[in-house]
Amino acid sequence: MKSFDPALFTIIVVDDNPDFLTITATRLRSSFNVFAANSVSAAFEFYDEKTDAILTDLHMPGSTGKDLISAIREFNPKIPIYIVTANREINSAQVLSWGGNGLFLKPIDMDEVTQTIKSAIQISREK
């Protein structure tokens, strides 16, 4: 098991908005190793057994964040996966029912995202 040093952990950020993706990935790089993917299919190019968490947009062309959760859960029930969306009609209970770990509404609070992901990775490593 890895010791808990967030800088040693890898997350994938998935969003089709290039500005949001760049800003979010850049800010999270101060705490994690980050791969930025502009689609669900691109996320799978980065995903491997060493991936520690995923932060994904909900609505993207082609596959959605919900699709990503379903696909990942087939072989990794423990990895923390969080949805990011500007859609105020989506709530945390829906995300949890899809198998996700939580929801962040845009515009996101980067400190909250960072702390939540750090905590979720630590908890997933203790299980």
- Please report the pLDDT score of residue 2 as a whole number: 46
Whole-angstrom distance, CA of residue 14 vs CA of residue 48: 15
pLDDT digit string (tens) for 48-68? 999 999 999 999 999 999 999
Would you say residue 125 has pLDDT above 90?
A: no
Enumerate domains of the chain plus CATH numbers.
6-126 (3.40.50.2300)
Mean pLDDT of 25-42: 96
User: What is residue 1's predicted lDDT score, i.e. its pLDDT?
Assistant: 43
- For the beta sheet containing 33-37, the strands, ordered from the edge strand earlier in sequence to the opposite edge, are 33-37, 10-14, 51-57, 81-85, 102-105
| Model pLDDT for residues 15-32, shown as the tens digit of each residue | 999 999 999 999 999 999
Distance CA 17, CA 23 (A): 10
Distance CA 107, CA 104 (A): 8
pTM score, whole prediction: 0.93
Name the one residue in this structure whose structure tokens are 């502009």: 38
**CA 52/CA 86 separation, integer angstroms:** 24
